[in-house]
Amino acid sequence: MHRVARAGFLALIVAMQVAVAAEQDRVAPLETLLAQARQLAGAGRNEEAYALLARAEDEYIGDPRFDYALGRAALDAGQPARATLAFHRVLALDPSHAGALIDSGRAYLALGNYPQARETFESLLALDPPLVLREQIERYLQQARRGLPPVPVFAGYLAASIGKSSNVNQSPSQSQVFVPLFGTRFDLADQNVAKSDRFWSVQGGVDGAVPLDQTWSLVGGAEILERQNFHESDFDLGGLGGRLGVSLASGLDLVRVQWLGARNYLGHDLNRKVNGLVAEGFKMLGPDDQLIAIAQGGRIRYQSPDLHIFDSDFATFGLGISHRTDGSAILAAGFSAGMEDDSGGNPDGDKRQLGLRASVDVPVWARLRAGISAAFLQTNYRAENPSFLVVRRDQRSDVELSLQYALAQALTARLGVTWTEQRSNIAINEFDRHEFWLSIRREFR
């Protein structure tokens, strides 16, 4: 009987050991596994995050979410060769997966495979990514090019749009305005009352960089825009501009200083000239985070004698940050501050501005992304308006929703709607506007 009891006890111990081993070998559910890996990576324990995911590779291999997380963990743990294998599996199922494309390019950089890295980043830019993501990709691309003999690099684009605006002249909807100085209401001229119309536009640009050595380059670019209304030709818009300067690169960070000149046309007549200097800085805070700073200053000069009162000297500063999530969504936010000192006799005097902006751009399906952005601008003037007997204050809000579809590697279509609202303590400066538009854009490299 004693032997039977001892045998039963031994069997129980063996069964418990088997159960413990089975529990240790059991793979956690995917969501739990990915959350654990993110937690480890967030604590700087990249090797542990990679080891955790590597143990589950046999169970979840072929799942894009797992393979992408595995590739990123391998890359952060210093194993770029393993990372490329995981990213290739993701791209085999979703060739336009922006995160896998960017990170595979990073892996090629880590491996010293500069031609492959350059090809990867150039193909991403041809998909016309959001501005914040574009700047990040360009930083990686410049690092890839530094591993190759320096050669001039040029890129350009062409875009065409068609749409409808509820207020092409950005004017108030009411036809009368009360003027306190005279204590009565005045009729506004017809051209100063909101007008709706359909419009079409074309736009193009080119950028170039000529390396001087491994860190310095001559940089420049030019853009041209023409927007015409179907009926309200007095409010057709046109513009052209150019930039020329130098850039200094260090790793993935970049500083550019350029002279800029622009010409603006209204109703096909030259409306104003803008000249100035702009400095831009791009700092990578990590593989998925970028800090952007910009400062510019110059002068605005109107060409019509009747508009010389709006001449001014300006200076602005902006700071923004962007973050790319594991799912390749792009989150961005920033603020700006600026001033325009009156040099022509503006009855409202000098002005000061403070702006805020935020945006989200997310993948929806393969080749399709959705975006939303919002901006707010507060403008305060310094002098009391002699006709309206108040110091002017404006508040402007903008919201944009859009869908972008990659028709081909370098061809995209974008559908969007924009709402704009400006409120002011001087009624003649208030307006509302909404626009619907469809655009096609082609990149050239």
Segment 230-243, tens digit of pLDDT: 999 999 999 999 99
- 3-state SS class at 64: helix
Architecture of domain 22-125: Alpha Horseshoe (1.25)
Q: How confident is the model at residue 27, as a pLDDT? A: 55
Topology of the domain comprising 153-444: Porin (2.40.160)
Query: What is the rounded average pLDDT of the residues 389-404?
Result: 96
Output phi, psi for 411, to 5 deg: -130, 125
Mean pLDDT is lowest, of 20-24, 141-145, 263-267, 390-394, for 20-24
Q: Which of 298, 263, 301 is nearest to 279 (CA)?
A: 298
Model confidence at 432, pLDDT cuts 50, 70, 90, reads very high
Q: How confident is the model at residue 8, as a pLDDT? A: 52
**pLDDT(329) > 50:** yes
Q: Where are the beta strands (DSSP E) in 303-350?
A: 312-324, 330-342
> Which residues pair with residue 413 across a beta bridge?
405, 440
- CA–CA separation, 29 and 86 (whole Å): 19
> Which residues pair with residue 383 across a beta bridge?
none
- 3-state SS class at 161: strand
Q: Which of 137, 86, 90 is nearest to 287 (CA)?
A: 137
**pLDDT(317) > 80:** yes
Domain boundaries, the chain: 22-125, 153-444
Q: Which residues contact 237 (CB under 8 A, 6 or more apart)?
A: 225, 226, 227, 264, 265, 266
Residue with more model confidence, 263 or 136? 263
